[in-house]
Structures are given as structure tokens and as C-alpha cells.
Structure 1
């Protein structure tokens, strides 16, 4: 079953904001359900909401409890813009597939915005533009070509010259892409809202409850738990984040360590439109504002899994992020009031891996979220809920697991 990871360290900024409590029960006896979802972070919450909306009976389990894994560590830049630029992704998987992946990401974000409004989830959701800055990965001329490629794919993008970027946003870089229609929100409030919606539809939540063995058979899946009881389900969905279950092939998936800081509230000093800012660099920096005027700055990513080493580096990484933030916005107070670390999964393409586990037709998994975790979780909820309903999602092939 999943390798246990310490998914985050330090104090994420979201601890400063109260989220609704999500009630859970103890798993005291064997039970049955249509679908068992393992994991109660943002991916599990989206899956539970989608499946209960379709009328399925759903059980969710988590070895920690709701919202206690990596969801609380996300900086929640909820973007349709995939980490892998469209021009680069086209070279990896082909132009048609790359354009479709970008279009599906944009559609998923629109669907998520609509769902938040429909369910009236109070997660401080605000439509936000984004600025993609020239860096050591793509220079200004590269970004000009990237913007043109996005427009040809039907995805709005405006190239900003150095002067336009300086005049409109006060940032001194060689150029940037301005995009509209991304989303800033509180990830814990969103996750809690989705879980509570599923609970209202009679989903059952058990925690702590840890899956220890999975056995698939023709009519369903049997999951044994460390607590003793066995859960029988027609379908199993593994939303365990970066703690991959042994049954899931890990080819193409690796773990990245990341760091973030958040400042004190300073709403009068936030840049125009409170746009999300990220850069075409490796490692890249990203900056966003919260609804009450804190500045979140993250990045400094490194490819390793050692949680103790990751957490030990937090003070050093926080100091670097503070200096980078100060250089970008000299008028801000860059001091870190919150500093934390986290781990996330990534793939070579920057796309998630979603779908049925090879050789196990009733078991599904989601992995490799990268920097678009919340958007990709929405795509996963759409693809997997369609598959369980016996429907075909036209984009499923883009994200499927390989044996």
C-alpha cells in the first residue's frame, strides 16, 4: 500500500484561516459501497463530489483525516496554464495532443469555477489574471512565440513587451505573457466544501482508516484496513497524492520538494489586478496574493524525496524566496510570517496520469499533479467519474496510465 511520506513541514499560511470541520467516523465493521475513495485531500474531495452527484454510494477513507495531507501545503495557483509551455509540450507529445491538453485544462478550470458557484462554496474564489515572465527557460522572443501558439489553439494570450510590463505592473523583465481566467482561492476551504457536499449526499467518511491490502476481482475490489474491517466496493479510486500505492506503476512519476513563504497582510501594496506571477525559469518563482492582502511566494524546487532534508532546508529556502520577492517588488514588506515545505509528484510531460490501473479494470489512480494540482484534480474527477458511469471521455487517452 502507499509508502508513507511526511508530505509537508513548517506552517502553511492556510493555518491562519478557519476552515469548516469535516466530520468523520471510526471504521468499526466490514462494509460495502459502490465506490471507495482512498484519500481525503483535494483530489478525493473532487472525486467524492462528482461521484455522489452521479448518484453513487461513496465511502472515503484517509489514514490521517480530511485536509491533513499535502492539500494544506499547496499555494493554490489554480491555473489552466500547464507547467509545460504549449510550444515545449508540442515537441514532446505532438502539436494536436498538446493543444488538446491545454484546452482541456482551460475547460476544467471553467468547470471548477462553475461548480464552486453552484454549490456556493465559500473559499475566497476570485478570477485572477496571470503573468508568465521571461526567464532562463524561455526568453522574451520565446514567449512571443508561445503566446502566438496559444492563440492559434484558441487560448487567449497577450504578449507584453518589457516597457508594457514595467508600465502596467512595475516588473522589470524582458517580456511576459498576460492571461485571464485563472483562479485564486483557499484550498482548505474548497476541499472542506466539496467533502461536506458529498456528506450531504450520504457519502460516508472514515478516519483514521488506512488501506493495507487491495484485491481486485471480477465483480469488484476488496480493501483490507489496518483498523481491521474490510471494505467491499464495485470500484476503487486511489487519490493518495504522492504516496503511491504499490499496485500503481510509478514509471514516469517522480517526487519534487518545494518551499513557500507568506507575508503579513499588506493590501495597499499589492500589484495591479493581484495577478498571479510565475516565470519561465528552472527553478521557477511564483507569487500570488491572498484575498486579504498577504503575498505568497514559492519555488526553489529540487528533485529529491528525503523529507528530513527538505524540512531542514526550509529556513535557507525561505531566506532566498524573501530576497527574490524583495527584488521583484521593492515596496513590499517581504518578511516571511509563514514558511513551509512540501512534496509533490511530477511527470516528464507536466501532465497528470489519470485512469484505470493496468490489469485492474475496477481500480483507478491519479498521480503526477505537478504545479497544476487543483486543475488536474478536476480533470481526474471528470474522467474517472465518466468511466465508472460507463461513459467515454474523449481526452482519457491523453492522461492514461501506462503499464
Structure 2
């Protein structure tokens, strides 16, 4: 029913930090539930927890197991800044919609922070400022216009001149935008914490389970598995990342590969406020720190075409990323201790698709997260639970299939 792809390769840094185990069971018989979630990564975790908290029964399945896919490959810069600059997005979908998307993204990061606190999930959450450096996509003049556009949309942003950036952060670039209220965290611990919270509300997890096909009626969806038992649900949510199922429209959806490294701990060499840093460039470099003083740096994105070729590039890409990081911060030891590659889906606008699949009103899908995966997963959990409750999320149409 869906493509089987190699979601990541190498050694992601998050495996250096122990996350709670998520217990699963074998699917030995037919089961029924209100909501079936296919995929047990960060998106599935957020949706499962929201559904369980709403009082509905939920079953989650994964053909690998919990947190075994793309979630471990994320660098977890949980930002409200959308991959597409506000000024660029406005030229594609209109000023009002672009502002709406950016504001919802900012709200999602705040909501996720509150959710983590409310559920007491131990995932090392830490608020971080973000520096968006001038590059080959937006130079100093365009970056000033971007900051003005954000402020006009009600999003606080400050433009830093070359001199101010050098003085305050020791970075030699032509300019930057500084923003606030982004979030650093451990993605595996977050996902595990959400699954465990849903488990307390009687969620059921089965793995490894592969869905072979789905039959939809007016009242429910019957999902067949490759090993026999069926799962009958009132609604299904496909949270399978870029492993798209046959019924999900793939128009304007593109697969991108990215590479990342993590250094040794070096707390005394880090930059001011340990801000997230990323570039207004294509491809762009992005970086953050971990609480123990490691630096994560990623980038060198390319359109995905062949998994083997992607994996063979890990050494070369890691060396290039380390060299770029060293050029930006000469005081750092940028020798990679961890290096990995991962792939993700993105769209032409940089916005995800969230909602029911055309001609399949009981089946939701979430896809095209780009570089804002965790932020968009939060939005998806809000929109989908709202729909299950018969309400209409005010921003649902912005992310609906067919836009």
C-alpha cells in the first residue's frame, strides 16, 4: 500500500541520550477503535495523545516500531519561522494567507511548549532565540524587508546590521534577523513522552504491523494488515512521513535529503544565548546546541533520488558541513562525533498538507513537513482533533489538500 523507504542512515546524536521505551504488542486478532493512527513517529505521537485526551479510543501501528523512522534523524530546531520567508510565501499564496500561516506556526510552538509543561514530559525543552543570516536567497536589503513584513503581521522581529551581528554574536555576515520564542528539545524523548501519556488514556500500540489496504464505507474504515488481522476504525490518520500511501495525492510533493553532524560537548566555546542559527540561502546551513554543549549542524540539502547515493555522501557532506561550521565559528571543534542522513517531504509552498484525503472523508493524512516537522505536527494534531469533534479549525483550509 505504501512505499518502503530507507528513512535515515548513519548515527543520529539522539541515540546518545536514553529515551523512555514505548511498549507495543503483537496484533493477533481483529480490533476496533475510534481512530487508527498509521505511523509511530513524532506526528503519530502528537495525534495519538490529542485523540486519547479527547476521550476517543486510539490504536497506533507502525511497520517498524515506535521512533524507528525519520523522527530520530531530525535536528529538532522547533521554529515558528516557516522554510519559505514570509515575503516569498506571500508572493506564492497571497499576503493574507502567508501571514496567517506564519502566525499559526508561531502559535503552534507556544502551544507545544505549554503541552510539554502540562504533561510534564522530560524532553529538555528550552526556549531559544533564532538568527536568520543573510545569504544568497535574501541579502541585507531583502532581509530588512522580511523583518518589516513579519512585524506588519504581528510577529516581533529585529534586523541586525553587519556591525551589530559581529558585536553581539561574533558572526561575520552582512546582516541577520533575530526572533524569539523558538524551542530546543530532544525529539525522541518528546515522542516517547506523548505516546506514554496516550497509553495512560488506554491507547493501544501494535508493531510491527504493516497496512496492506483500506476499505471505506459510510460508517468506518477497515484496514487490512499483511499478516491477517484487520483494524476497524471510524477514522484513520496517515502519519507515515514521506512514505506516501497510494491514496495520498503526491502532486507538488518533493523528497529532500539532508545531512547532519554533532560535535563533542564544548560548553565554553558556544555562541551567545545558544541561539538557533540558519541561513537565507539555498541550500542553507542550520545549527543548534544541546544542553551538554554539543553542536548540531546540518544542511547541504538535495532533491532525493536514490537512497544508496544519499548514504554514500555522508562522509563528504559531513566534512563540508564541518568546514562551513568552522568558518562561521573558528573557536569550535567541528570534528563530527555523530553523522547521519535523513529524508523528508516538502511542498512547493513549504506548507504541509493536513486534512482529509479527497474522496476519502474518513481518512486524514499529514505530509510535506519540510524543515518544520515538529511545529507542523503540533498544528496537525490540533486540526485533526478539531475535525473529529465536528468543529472547524480556523486555519484548516490553509493546509487542506487541493490548495
* Range class of TM-score, shorter chain: over 0.9
SS of 1:362 mapped into structure 2: strand
Aligned to 2:242: 242
For 1:258 and 1:287, the matched residues in 2 are separated by 13
Aligned to 2:117: 117
For 1:79 and 1:227, the matched residues in 2 are separated by 40
Superposition CA RMSD, Å: 0.7
- Say whether 1:96 aligns with 2:96: yes
Residue 386 (structure 1) shift:
0.6
Residue 74 (structure 1) shift:
0.2
After superposition, residues 248-267 of structure 1 pair within 5 angstroms as 248-267=248-267
Residue 313 (structure 1) shift:
0.4
Aligned to 2:226: 226
Q: Is this contact kept in 2: 1:73–1:340, CA < 8 A?
A: yes
For 1:115 and 1:73, the matched residues in 2 are separated by 23
SS of 2:379 mapped into structure 1: helix
User: Structure 1 stretches (4+) deviating beyond 2 angstroms?
Assistant: none
SS of 1:292 mapped into structure 2: coil
SS of 2:128 mapped into structure 1: strand
For 1:77 and 1:53, the matched residues in 2 are separated by 26
After superposition, residues 254-403 of structure 1 pair within 5 angstroms as 254-402=254-402
After superposition, residues 121-136 of structure 1 pair within 5 angstroms as 121-136=121-136
Aligned to 1:16: 16
User: How many residue pairs align between the two structures?
Assistant: 403
For 1:220 and 1:82, the matched residues in 2 are separated by 35
Residue 227 (structure 1) shift:
2.1
For 1:217 and 1:262, the matched residues in 2 are separated by 48
Residue 305 (structure 1) shift:
3.1
Residue 388 (structure 1) shift:
1.0
For 1:264 and 1:226, the matched residues in 2 are separated by 43
For 2:26 and 2:202, the matched residues in 1 are separated by 16
Aligned to 1:66: 66
SS of 1:52 mapped into structure 2: helix
Aligned to 2:47: 47
Aligned to 1:215: 215
Aligned to 2:168: 168
Unaligned runs of 5+ in 2: none
Residue 389 (structure 1) shift:
1.0
Post-superposition CA distance 1:341-370 (Å, at most 9, x none):
000000010000110000001000000000
For 1:113 and 1:245, the matched residues in 2 are separated by 31
Return the TM-score normalized by structure 1: 0.99
Aligned to 1:153: 153
Post-superposition CA distance 1:29-71 (Å, at most 9, x none):
0010000000000000000011011100000000000000000
Residue 83 (structure 1) shift:
0.5
Aligned to 1:32: 32
For 1:316 and 1:214, the matched residues in 2 are separated by 42
For 1:199 and 1:310, the matched residues in 2 are separated by 36
SS of 1:92 mapped into structure 2: helix
Unaligned runs of 5+ in 1: none
SS of 1:28 mapped into structure 2: coil
SS of 2:143 mapped into structure 1: helix
For 1:23 and 1:269, the matched residues in 2 are separated by 40
